[in-house]
Amino acid sequence: MEIIAIIILFFIVVQLQSFIFYKFVLSRLEYRCSFSVTEAYEGDELFLVETVCNRKILPVPWLKVDIHSSRWLDFANSHSVVAQDNRRVTSSFFLRSFQKTTRRWKLKCLKRGVFTTENVTLVSGDILGLFISSIPVTVNASLVVYPEIIDLDSVIMPIDITQGDTVVNRWIVDDPFIVSGAREYTPRDPMNRIHWKATARQNKLMVRKNDFTSRLNMTVILNIQSIEFEYDRVVDRDMIEMGIKVAATLIDRALRMGIPVRLGTNGCTIDDRQNMIFTGQAAGREHTTGLLKLLAKLELKNLKDFDDYLAGISGEITNNDVIIITSYVNNQIYEIVSEMSQRGNVVKLIILNKLVDLRNLPRGIDAYILSGADRVNGN
């Protein structure tokens, strides 16, 4: 009889604790989740910070938090599950009575974009795991990841320069594509400006010396199409992602030099999938940050063929340094570029494709290609 009584008592205790934990384990439980910063760049490392607070006398024997994030946010030392573009990370806690705990997940931004964790799911139960309850919690943790800022001097190289810019004696606009020679290094110069060949010849550190042109405005135009006949979605996504990095780098340079800049592209953003982009021209951090945010939100999808898009905006651009980033060129683009140069613009082409035909390149138009790319059918 005593054994039976013990067994009955055991089952009563088990059922009672299950009922108590099922009913109250998730009550008065506070959960917060946020990124350590709200803005970052590709390649940056930051933290996702979780804070859990148990505001009751009943302990929480186990708590699991399901965090749904993007695969492009790489959580260090976590056993996450990746499916398509989504990443699921499970976080586990034990909380005593009235205990608050904080956990910091180190993560790396693998790709540009806007990443938002809107909700998480809290899962808990009794000590023996016989009963489980769960609740959704709204967190709205958001992170904007800007495109990577790259070293243009090591990424692009001139193909053919048929007519140089007119050099003036005023330090107004540092043209990133014109290098007139070398000068001795000073502590204020960044290391990526070092001219290694000149350094070897002079046996002392030398840096590339830039000349300056009299143009005060920059227009960056990005072709979101990776091939000429491409409808809707981008075929070569890596190529266009490189173009986005180049555009971001040019905009970043404009910010640092105080140059008014505008951005144009035949693509759209995740916020507005109906309209292409052609911004106003301005200088300053607020404006350029807005342009970088547009690039972060840019979808790999075109709304209009680049030829037609370029023809539509070309008449609005005068007396600008116009830098066109594109994966292809054709006769129609050449005609539009020639017309733009006749309106006081200096037009430069940055070619993203490894295979490009530049035999019809108009005189006075500088062209650049990714370093290491093999050009065919050129002059």
Tell me how far apart the alpha carbons of residues 234 and 236 are, in angstroms, rounded to a whole number.
6
pTM: 0.78
Check residue 228 and give its pLDDT. Answer: 85
Check residue 187 and give its pLDDT. Answer: 66
Task: Give the chain's residues under pLDDT 50.
Answer: 160-174, 176-178, 212, 214, 373-379
Check residue 161 and give its pLDDT. Answer: 37
Task: Give me the DSSP letters along 150-208.
Answer: --HHHHEEEEE-SSPPPP-SS--EE-TT---EEEE--TTS-GGGB-HHHHHHHTS-EEE
Check residue 304 and give its pLDDT. Answer: 92
Check residue 133 and give its pLDDT. Answer: 86
Residues of the chain with CATH 2.60.40.680: 26-146
Instruction: Give the CATH fold of the 26-146 domain.
Output: Immunoglobulin-like (2.60.40)
Check residue 188 and give its pLDDT. Answer: 54
Check residue 57 and give its pLDDT. Answer: 93
Check residue 93 and give its pLDDT. Answer: 94
Residues of the chain with CATH 3.40.50: 152-175+215-370
Look at residues 264, 254, 345, 256 and name the one whose alpha carbon lies nearest to residue 302: 264
- The helix (run of H) or strand (run of E) holding residue 353 is none
Q: Quick one: how far is CA 311 from the chain centroid?
A: 28
Check residue 18 and give its pLDDT. Answer: 67
In this structure, are strands 218-222 and 261-265 parallel, antiparallel, or unpaired?
Answer: parallel
Check residue 15 and give its pLDDT. Answer: 64
Instruction: Give the CATH fold of the 152-175+215-370 domain.
Output: Rossmann fold (3.40.50)
In this structure, are strands 39-41 and 132-146 parallel, antiparallel, or unpaired?
Answer: parallel
46 beta partners: 107
Residues 6+ apart with CB under 8 A from 23: none
Check residue 215 and give its pLDDT. Answer: 52
